Amino acid sequence: MKKTDVAIVGGSAAGLTAALTARRHYPNKKILLVRKEKLVPIPCGIPYIFGTVGSPDKNLMPDTPLQKNNVDFMIDEVVEIDREKRSLKTEGGEEIVYDKLVVATGSLPMVPPVPGFDKENVFPVFKDVERLSVMQQKMNTSKKVVVIGGGFIGVEMSDEMNKSGDLEVTICELLPHCLQLAFDPEICEEAEKLLAERGVKILSNQKVISVEGNKKATGVKLSDGKVLEADMVVVGIGTVANVSLAEKAGLRMGPTGSIWVDRTLRTSDENIFACGDCAEKFSFFGGKPSKLKLASIACSEARIAGANLFGAQRESVGTIGVFSSAIGDHSFAVAGMSESFAKQQGYDVIIGTAEGPNRHPGGMPGTANQKVKLIFEKRTKVLIGSQMAGDWAVGELINVASACIQHKMTIDDIACFQMGTHPALTASPVVYQFVNAAESALLAMS
């Protein structure tokens, strides 16, 4: 039997961050992290295994932070939580007694109830090194790949697989556009144009009704009757919370099927916290249940849970939703609500846009066009969303937008935003797109 002050189940982004946060806040407590994977892939880096990075073993979360911060860890699978005894049982026969427990069991890929999805050569994207290795080996011997789902995972997987130059890659997307759940149509169309220029085929407004073949997948049948040949089918339509352990322990579930938590990330058991993809979330905008699952959200929640284990110190403000991605040298990013989604939710919005060179003067090396779109709630003039397109810099600029959203900054706050600029690094302070988009919104109100 092992005894620990804090037990953490799960070793991906949420589990690791919860362990490190607990150590910072409770330096004298004994902390034990239990995970079933010997090697843990970096979640957001998974698509790049199939192109830029080259293999699963080059996309791993290191154990060094645990070792440096005196966090014990063991490789074993927790199969039972005994809430009365405050103990865990593992597949390897260990019993672990805890004072406080953090459940960070993550998520599993969503697989729709469609005939043929259980055939060989159909690959949901698991966060598992062995499965990813098998998937990569299959890619290396394939000629035609069909990717089901045109969200961030589907788009990034397609673009990376396409880099081999030997594959014919096709995305099948149910909605009118790829990335439509996050972006407004003008950004979606720009991303789709880039994918097409790079050789990725896109079939939108298409529902997959079956995977063809006997034991092995040989193609995908669409709702219009067309059959796409495929040596390999990648399923990238989203994830579901991995809650079987929590359900077995009798923890309360939330409206989206994840583990119910309060704003401190405490579950229905006062001694158990949950964070990351397995935990229930609510939106920053109005507090409705949210299905968003991102590593960045997982880490934020883990920093709340880890700090609150022995006394509440932090609370969740809800999910804002911050995404960024890249296709070649072009980057796209979004924070908060899109214009179309905000209108669907009943918001009266004001839009501000600005674009121009991201260096000054425009002849500086590395100059690229940068677009910024800001979405404000009309009555309060508070920022509720932003979308950007440009070079790599938008990946950080969107984080500025997220901070502005979280702190409910207004059009005037952003118009008077004091930025640092440099000719080789940023746009000119005169045409700085983030600020000028706010000024544009002011004009739209007049």
Distances (CA, A) of 143 to 166, 176, 325: 7, 27, 26
**Are residues 223 and 204 both part of a single domain?**
yes
CA dihedral sign of residues 315, 317, 319, 325: negative
Least Cα distance to 25 among 296, 272, 309 occurs for 309
Distance CA 232, CA 123 (A): 8
Least confident of 273-282, 304-313, 437-446: 437-446
Token duo for residue 75: 């490789």
Task: For residue 352, give every residue at least 6 positions away whose Cβ sits within 8 Å of its Cβ, in sequence order, or none.
Answer: 373, 374, 376, 411, 437, 438, 439, 440, 441, 442, 444
Mean of the per-residue pLDDT values of the chain: 96
**Are residues 220 and 281 both part of a single domain?**
no
For the chain, the straight-line distance linking the first and the last C-alpha, in angstroms and rounded, comes to 70
| β-sheet bridge partners, residue 403 | none
Asked whether residue 446 carries a pLDDT value surpassing 80, the answer given is no
Distance CA 163, CA 349 (A): 40
Residue 257 lies in a domain: yes
Q: Does 361 sit behind a cis peptide bond, omega within 30 degrees of 0 on the bond before it?
A: yes
Residue 35 lies in a domain: yes
Residue 314 lies in a domain: no
Token duo for residue 365: 């090396």
Asked whether residue 338 carries a pLDDT value surpassing 90, the answer given is yes
Least Cα distance to 66 among 133, 17, 10, 27 occurs for 17
Q: For residue 353, give the 3-state DSSP assignment.
A: strand
CA dihedral sign of residues 309, 315, 321, 327: negative
**Are residues 439 and 343 both part of a single domain?**
yes
What number of other Cβ atoms are within 10 A of residue 38's Cβ?
A: 10
**Are residues 118 and 221 both part of a single domain?**
yes
Asked whether 372 and 309 are in contact (CB, 8 A), the reply is no
Q: Percent of the chain having pLDDT more than 70? A: 100
- Number of compact structural domains in the chain: 3
pLDDT value, residue 111: 92
pLDDT value, residue 232: 97
What CATH number should be reported for the domain holding residue 196? 3.50.50.60
- Domain containing 438 equals 322-445
- The tens digit of pLDDT for each residue in 185-226 reads 999 999 999 999 999 999 999 999 999 999 999 999 999 999
Burial of 228 (0-12, 13-18, 19+ CB in 10 A): buried
- The tens digit of pLDDT for each residue in 103-122 reads 999 999 999 889 999 999 99
Distances (CA, A) of 166 to 142, 160, 234: 8, 12, 17
308, 331, 362 - which closes a domain:
308
Distance CA 86, CA 267 (A): 14
- The tens digit of pLDDT for each residue in 394-438 reads 999 999 999 999 999 999 999 999 999 999 999 999 999 999 999
